[in-house]
Chains A and B, each alone.
Chain A
Amino acid sequence: GAVVSQHPSRVICKSGTSVKIECRSLDFQATTMFWYRQFPKQSLMLMATSNEGSKATYEQGVEKDKFLINHASLTLSTLTVTSAHPEDSSFYICSAGETSGAWETQYFGPGTRLLVL
């Protein structure tokens, strides 16, 4: 299967700082990447859809100025959590869509665990 990486896997930061998370598709090109957040014991929550070369589409209730997404190439999307606060502590997971013929399959990265002190 296709491989998606994320970096860093874990980050601890002070309140008010910004944190950048990278998502890479290692062996395929992904026109579309997706960013999710998951709190303990809860379901995945889609934050935004990232399209290469264009602005991301954010889900309702997700602040686009706080969660900056850049999809500069077909293999890299980044999520920057700006001015992070303790309530932003969560498990952030990206996925990348691999297209085969008429079908697209999403593969998930290993996730980034963010702890804001």
Chain B
Amino acid sequence: QKEVEQNSGPLSVPEGAIASLNCTYSDRGSQSFFWYRQYSGKSPELIMFIYSNGDKEDGRFTAQLNKASQYVSLLIRDSQPSDSATYLCAVNANQGGKLIFGQGTELSVKP
């Protein structure tokens, strides 16, 4: 079983819709959770981080964490074509330690 799992996609949504990206992790002791966006040919860019159960909102983005179910999700409201990218879920089990990445979900927002 992979430590961090994401659907590879591609996930295709129409412009203006809500895109829902999901991630599950295996280490129940995981402490912090991150979503990065990576455009083709570029390096990852931090979108959101979340440490506590529940929702965290930042603009059009909402991260949701459920430690009991070991999943973290990212919702993108009012999706735009510029949101088309690969979204990487990352989990840090130990502070100061390395991140464990999922394989990424490719999102395509169609005009």
Contacts and interface: CB of A to CB of B under 8 A. Distances in A.
Contacts, number: 48
Contacts of A111: 42-43
Interface residues of B, number: 21
Contacts of B92: 104
**Chain A contact surface mostly:** strand
A106 B99 contact: yes
A97 B49 CA distance: 13
A99 B99 CA distance: 14
A9 to B, nearest CB: 10
A103 B43 contact: no
Contacts of B61: none
Contact of A108 (B32, B45, B95, B96): B45
Nearest to B100: A46
Given A103-B51, A104-B92, A109 B43 contact: yes
Contact of B88 (A44, A97, A109): A44
Interface residues of A, number: 22
Nearest to B31: A103
Contact of B46 (A1, A32, A102, A103): A1
19 contacts: A1-B46, A31-B96, A32-B96, A34-B98, A43-B101, A43-B104, A44-B101, A49-B97, A91-B43, A97-B96, A103-B49, A104-B95, A104-B96, A105-B32, A105-B34, A106-B34, A106-B99, A108-B45, A111-B43
Interface of A: 1, 31-32, 34, 43-44, 46, 49, 91, 93, 97, 99, 102-111
